[in-house]
Chains A and B, each alone.
Chain A
Amino acid sequence: MRLTIAHETFYKFEEPAKHSIQYLRMTPGSSACQQVLSWSVSTQGTLTPWIDGFGNSVHVSTIDNEHDEIKVVVEGVVDTFDTSGVLASRDGLPPQLFLRDTPFTEIGEATLALAEEVKESIASDTLSGLHNLTNLIADKVTYLSGATTVETSAEEAVVAGSGVCQDHAHIFLTCARWCGIPSRYVSGYLLAGQGNDSHVASHAWAESYLPGLGWVSFDPTNRQSATEEYVRLAIGFDYMGAAPVRGSRLGGGVEEMSVKVQVEQTQN
């Protein structure tokens, strides 16, 4: 499937900032499930590309004159292939690395209850057990845009009973890792279908490592594994490691951020 993506991130500062710097994890790589045909990242700052330890393509963007807004525009075309949710390519990373907890994925009472519910099915048949976990999370934590913030942990989201895709992914990671299954966070895009809702088009899900299969994707928000409607952008231990933007600046005061994402199917 050929997907055309337009992703605009806009920051407005209450007063001028003197110096800004951002890590932009906004460049997809090619793999068995996707082929990047064209891609561009642009902003008023200086862009320098680098590769992080997980193999993600990153840009560091710096602006060293006075500015009261930053606009990051991403455009590209990607061909995607349905691989039944299996990322059929090796990335050289030791899977066991992804058993590590982060502040977002520390097990608590509520996440433990979920993990215990699927523990046995994961032990007897990992793949179907993880699908059970995917559904269980969707049942227990309602998708509600704006219910949580970028700092909400998995445990907090389960207690709240609602959250967004990022929370769903964190809960999945928490439970799967607790069951001993190496699992990682994936940020990316999703063909949003009708309405083209930005919240839906900018997406996050999880991947777990199954011996024999490799990395397999699980998307609790949509109760499925990734299809050709998904574009992988970056991976990490959690949101913080794969976040599209992490930034810091001198001055600027309070910021207002808005994001517009459009994913459309185009003819090839």
Chain B
Amino acid sequence: MKNSDDNEPPKPFDEMLEPDGTVRMAYAQYGEWLHGTSKDTLLRKDEQADMMFRRLGITFTVYGDAESTERMIPFDIIPRILDPHEWDYLSRGAIQRVDAINAFLDDVYHDQAILKAGRIPPELVLNNDAFRPEMLDLDLPRRVYGHIAGVDLVRTGPRDFYVLEDNVRTPSGVSYMLENRQTMMRLFPELFATNHVAPVGRYPTELRNNLKSVAPVGVDDPTIVLLTPGRFNSAYFEHAFLATEMGVRLVEGQDLFVDDGLVYMRTTEGPKRVDVIYRRIDDDFIDPLAFQPHSMLGVPGLLSVVRRGRVTLANAIGSGVADDKAMYVYVPEMIRFYLGEEPILQNVPTYSLRNPDDYKYVIEHLEELVVKEVHGSGGYGMLVGPKSTKAEREAYAQRLKAEPEAFIAQPTLSLSTCPTWVEEGVAPRHVDLRPFVLSGRRTTVMPGGLTRVALKEGSLVVNSSQGGGTKDTWVLER
């Protein structure tokens, strides 16, 4: 149901079109092509894309969905395009953020200067379950904790990019960035001949080099493995894909063991020492002798080798304390404190319900806000005020009352839209962007990333678990 026109919110920023209908610089060439391409052609390309993905078998496990536990993430054939200036700004902002986060992690596991300086309330760090005292006073190679980060961004205007979340635990989605590009290149080779799209295909090589650069001291040619929780994990496809692309062994906990102070993997030629583990298992399950005792996923004894500096885990145990939603508020402060710079990218104004003033404001303005669980992820358990019913808001207010410290709230941003192929043709849909940042010898970001799109008209929820799709992300080199 539509409201009358005078109640319509202002039109969100469109990635392709200026308000007057002219095509933006990033889409100059593509827009012309799209304009001259028939609906039939696009329909055929869409069907072709669907077949390609089915053949690849990319699926994603959707939790809380009794009927289908595995489903395809819809792929959209219209790319999201960023021009060189936009990308320069974005990438500098993402690198700055991740550099500050790594400095923060090194600090909180050593001197805790930022806590002593009173810039972050100590209890938010020390009494946070994601803060792992197991990592105290341990020097990591190159002082890097979040070797792989995914910074979630949204856009509301030409130069208005907001960071929604910094993912420095085990961020996923990079396989979609790579697969989406390959699919696009097969579907539309002519577009890549005319548009100067920065390549992303070297990501696996860059990731491998990055992991190599943080090997334990004295190991020049490290053996790298990718540790997965196994085939039932929602991102198993990505784990297998990345291991293959990097040319490293995909292992499960039972394939590794600790002996004589080192980590080994079982191979047909006997035990082989492992130096760097790209782990896609959460801290809780990584070593049953140190964390969750009944976990069968991890490697018993692993922490002892980490602490002796004889194996590197990427990302490091305890990185999660930096991407907690309660800590998010303080990332700009980290940038100022550690780098002495002003943040390039903005934070979304955030209300912490642990503060009585914020709590009062949020309760009174639930209809306008998005409320999230501090420790939640994947878009589960959140309230999108403008899309909610009165009953939903009342039920949610009860949860807020019971445990205010477990929630934060943010204004609903008018996420930018991008032309998207839907049933009725090409129509604007809301998008976000997750660029991937690698930290090791240097901090770099792949020119591209994962663009997620909310396929339902008007929806702001882009999470694949909630019916979102993905797009190829083009960064133009000129």
Please give the residue numbers on chain A whose beta carbons come within 8 Å of chain B beta carbons, in ascending order: 19, 21-23, 46, 48, 50-55, 58, 60, 62, 64, 92-94, 96-97, 99-100, 240, 246-248
Inter-subunit contact A60/B135 (CB<8 Å) = no
| Shortest CB distance B46–A (Å) | 50
Q: Give Cα A246 to B292, complex, Å.
A: 12
Considering the complex, give the chain A residue whose CB is closest to the CB of B303. A52
Cβ-defined contact, B301 with A60, below 8 A: yes
The answer to whether A48 and B293 touch (CB under 8 A), given A53-B137, A92-B137, A93-B136, is no
Please state if A62 and B126 are interface contacts (CB–CB under 8 Å): no
B29 within 8 A of A: no
Provide 11 A-B residue pairs closer than 8 Å at the C-beta atoms, listed in order of the A residue: A22-B289, A23-B290, A46-B259, A48-B308, A52-B134, A53-B138, A62-B260, A99-B123, A100-B129, A247-B300, A248-B300
Given contacts A58-B304, A60-B304, A62-B301, contact A48 B260 (CB under 8 A): yes
Residues from chain B with Cβ under 8 Å of A50 in the complex: 261, 304, 307-308
In the complex the two chains form, what is the Cα distance from A93 to B131 in whole Å? Answer: 13
User: Chain B at the A interface: mostly helix, strand, loop or mixed?
Assistant: loop
Q: How far is the CA of A62 from the CA of B257 in the complex (A)?
A: 10
The number of chain B residues with a CB under 8 A from chain A is 29
Within the assembled complex, what's the spacing in Å between the Cα atoms of A100 and B122?
13
Contact B307 A94, beta carbon cutoff 8 Å: no
Question: Are A48 and B261 in contact, CB atoms less than 8 angstroms apart?
Answer: yes
- Residues of A near B288 (CB, < 8 A) are 248
14 additional contacts (CB under 8 A) given A48-B260, A50-B308: A19-B257, A21-B300, A22-B289, A46-B259, A48-B304, A48-B308, A53-B135, A53-B137, A53-B138, A64-B259, A97-B127, A97-B133, A100-B129, A246-B289
CB distance from B440 to the nearest CB of A (A): 24
Chain B residues, Cβ within 8 Å of A60 = 258, 261, 301, 304
* Cα distance A98–B134 in the bound complex, in angstroms: 13
Closest Cβ neighbor of B271 among chain A residues? A64
> 1/0 per position for B184-202, CB-CB distance to A under 8 A?
0000000000000000000
B307-A99 in contact (CB<8A): no
Could you list which residues of chain B lie within 8 angstroms of chain A, going by C-beta atoms? 112, 115, 122-123, 126-127, 129, 132-138, 257-261, 288-290, 293, 300-301, 303-304, 307-308
Q: Which residues of chain A are near B261, meaning CB under 8 Å?
A: 46, 48, 50, 60
Most central of A21, A23, A60, A97 by chain B CB within 10 Å: A60
* Separation of A99 and B133 alpha carbons in the complex (Å): 13
Bound together, the chains give a CA A64 to CA B293 distance in angstroms of 21
Nearest Cβ in chain B — how far from A148, in angstroms?
A: 17
Option from A53, A99, A246 in Cβ contact (under 8 Å) with B127: A99
- Interfacial chain B residues near A23, Cβ < 8 Å: 289-290, 301, 304
In the complex, the chain B residue whose C-beta lies closest to that of A236 is B133
Please state if B126 and A94 are interface contacts (CB–CB under 8 Å).
yes
A93: chain B residues at CB < 8 Å are 133, 136
Chain B residues with Cβ below 8 Å from A247 are 289, 300
Name the 8 nearest CB pairs between A and B, nearest first: A48-B261, A248-B300, A60-B304, A53-B136, A53-B134, A53-B133, A21-B301, A246-B289
B307 touches A52 (CB 8 A): yes
> Are B290 and A21 within 8 A (Cβ)?
no
B258/A62 in contact, CB under 8 A:
yes
* B433 shortest CB reach to chain A, Å: 36
A92 to B112, CA, bound (A): 11
Which residues on B sit within 8 Å (CB–CB) of A248? Answer: 288-289, 300-301
Which residues of A lie under 8 Å from residue B135 when comparing CB positions?
Answer: 53
B289 contact set on A, CB distance < 8 A: 21-23, 246-248
Q: Is there an interface contact between A94 and B112, defined as CB atoms closer than 8 Å? A: yes
Q: Is the CB of B126 within 8 A of A46?
A: no
Query: Please, which residues of chain B bring their CB within 8 A of the CB of A48?
Result: 260-261, 304, 308
A248 to B301, CA, bound (A): 9
Using Cβ atoms and an 8 Å threshold, which residues of chain A touch B308?
A: 48, 50
- In the complex the two chains form, what is the Cα distance from A51 to B300 in whole Å? 16
Docked pose: A174 CA to B136 CA in angstroms = 24
A52 and B308 alpha carbons, distance in the complex (Å):
10
Residues on B with beta carbons closer than 8 Å to the beta carbon of A62:
258-260, 301
Residue of A at shortest CB range from B131?
A97
- Distance, CA A54 to CA B257, complexed state (A): 24
Chain A nearest CB, measured from B211 CB (Å): 23
Q: Is B258's CB under 8 angstroms from A94's CB?
A: no
A93 vs B257: C-alpha distance when bound (angstroms): 31
**Inter-chain contact A53/B301, CB cutoff 8 Å:** no
A100 to chain B: which residues have CB within 8 Å? 126-127, 129
CB atoms of B126 and A96 under 8 A apart: yes
Measured CA separation A64–B301 after assembly (Å): 13
Cα distance, A58 to B136, chains bound together (Å): 15
